[in-house]
């Protein structure tokens, strides 16, 4: 169904807008508000509830209220996954026979498909559940570049990745920072990673796997930059993850020498293909001796940590020996 066809389709009595992509959820509710505003003044026909604090009976009462100088009312309930059981059941009962003059919109980051509330909304119609699941991390650089075009600028791939490093995966925060960069950018050249770094303050803590990937790519500046912003992850946690990656790269190197490809590696490591898509490339940048040495040094660093050495110092010494300056 095309976007135009969707806009012309009759409104359902209820929708569940579910998924962790906050920007998608905002876009969906904005479209619904715009469409319903065409039927009458939403100021007198719009109620908003917070699922963490509201009573189900109050939501049902708002849904049963007749619209004033309009054909339809809009009732929104955010964070419905936080509704108490009795309040959720009140909505389930309402959805069995919903008002014909109200559109009830339930918003949630996560709501299991096997819950009674999810099933009750799904029964309203085929289009009642609107999926706002976030894109996979590997798809986010393209999403950032697409969002940038919407703000009138072009981001280089490196600029998009730098923005993700600094801001994280929250699409609302990404959109806000892209808008800020777009306003400051001049000229027709693409936005560069240096421009992003100068304009955007780091707000997101890097994920451990991002650091491990930087180590695997032998990108010391990136690894050090990520490590400097990791405040909740300890060397005791990072070192085993790095050691595991070194073993994976050894396996990748052995398979490559026998003519194996990514599919063979995924099967050998019992991982999905996307998890190992860069392993063969990374493995080529290390010799077997270097990978074995990295594992021996990791063993020594772990012993040093357990013997009283400062964990951060022991881990940094390991890092600088595995990917020297």
**Exposed, middle or buried, 96 (CB in 10 Å: 0-12/13-18/19+)?**
exposed
CA distance 108 to 259: 47
Residue-level pLDDT at 4: 44
Residue 127 DSSP class: T
| Ramachandran area for residue 308 (φ above 0: left; ψ -120 to 50: alpha; else beta) | left
Residue-level pLDDT at 8: 60
Question: At residue 77, what are phi and psi to the nearest 5 degrees?
Answer: -130, 115
Q: Helix, strand, or coil here: 40?
A: strand
Kindly give the residue spans of alpha helices, DSSP state H, lying in 185-287.
193-199, 208-216, 220-228, 235-257, 262-269, 279-284
Residue 308 DSSP class: T
Residue-level pLDDT at 111: 93
Residue-level pLDDT at 191: 96
Q: Helix, strand, or coil here: 19?
A: coil
Looking at the DSSP bridge assignments, the partners of residue 15 are 105
Beta-strand (E) ranges in the chain?
14-18, 46-50, 73-78, 102-108, 129-131
Write out the chain's pLDDT in tens, 325 residues: 344 444 467 899 999 999 999 899 999 999 999 999 888 888 899 999 999 999 999 999 999 999 998 889 999 999 999 999 999 999 999 999 999 999 999 999 999 999 999 999 999 999 999 999 988 888 999 999 999 999 999 999 999 999 998 998 889 999 999 999 999 999 989 999 999 999 999 888 888 999 999 999 999 999 998 999 898 999 999 999 999 999 999 999 999 999 989 999 999 999 999 899 999 999 999 999 999 999 999 999 999 999 999 999 999 999 999 998 7
Contact indicator for 243, 298 with CB cutoff of 8 Å: yes
| Strand-strand pairing, 46-50 and 14-18 | unpaired
């Amino acid at each position: 169904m095309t976007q135009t066809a969707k806009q012309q389709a009759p409104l359902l009595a209820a929708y569940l807008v579910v998924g962790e992509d906050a920007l998608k959820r905002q876009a969906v509710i904005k479209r619904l508000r715009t469409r319903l505003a065409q039927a009458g003044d939403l100021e007198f026909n719009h109620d908003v509830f917070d699922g963490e604090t509201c009573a189900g009976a109050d939501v049902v009462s708002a849904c049963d209220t007749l619209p004033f100088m309009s054909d339809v009312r809009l009732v929104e309930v955010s964070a419905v996954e936080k509704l108490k059981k009795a309040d959720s059941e009140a909505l389930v009962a309402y959805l069995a026979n919903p008002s014909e003059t109200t559109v009830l919109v339930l918003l949630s980051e996560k709501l299991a498909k096997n819950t009674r509330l999810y099933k009750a909304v799904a029964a309203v119609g085929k289009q009642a559940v609107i999926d706002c699941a976030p894109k996979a991390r590997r798809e986010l650089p393209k999403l950032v570049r697409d969002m940038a075009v919407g703000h009138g600028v072009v981001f280089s791939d490196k600029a998009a990745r730098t923005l993700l490093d600094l801001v994280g995966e929250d699409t609302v925060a990404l959109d806000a920072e892209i808008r800020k960069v777009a306003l400051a950018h001049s000229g027709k050249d693409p936005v560069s990673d240096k421009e992003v770094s100068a304009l955007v303050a780091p707000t997101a803590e890097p994920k451990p796997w991002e650091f491990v990937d930087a180590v695997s790519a032998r990108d010391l500046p990136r690894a050090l930059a990520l490590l400097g912003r990791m405040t909740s992850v300890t060397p005791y946690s990072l070192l085993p993850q790095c050691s595991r990656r070194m073993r994976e790269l050894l396996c990748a190197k052995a398979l490559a020498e026998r003519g194996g490809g990514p599919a063979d590696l995924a099967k050998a490591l019992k991982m999905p293909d996307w998890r190992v898509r860069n392993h063969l490339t990374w493995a080529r940048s290390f010799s077997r001796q270097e990978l074995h040495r990295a594992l021996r040094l990791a063993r020594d660093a772990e012993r040093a940590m357990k013997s009283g050495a400062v964990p951060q110092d022991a881990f940094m010494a390991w890092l600088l020996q595995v990917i020297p300056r």
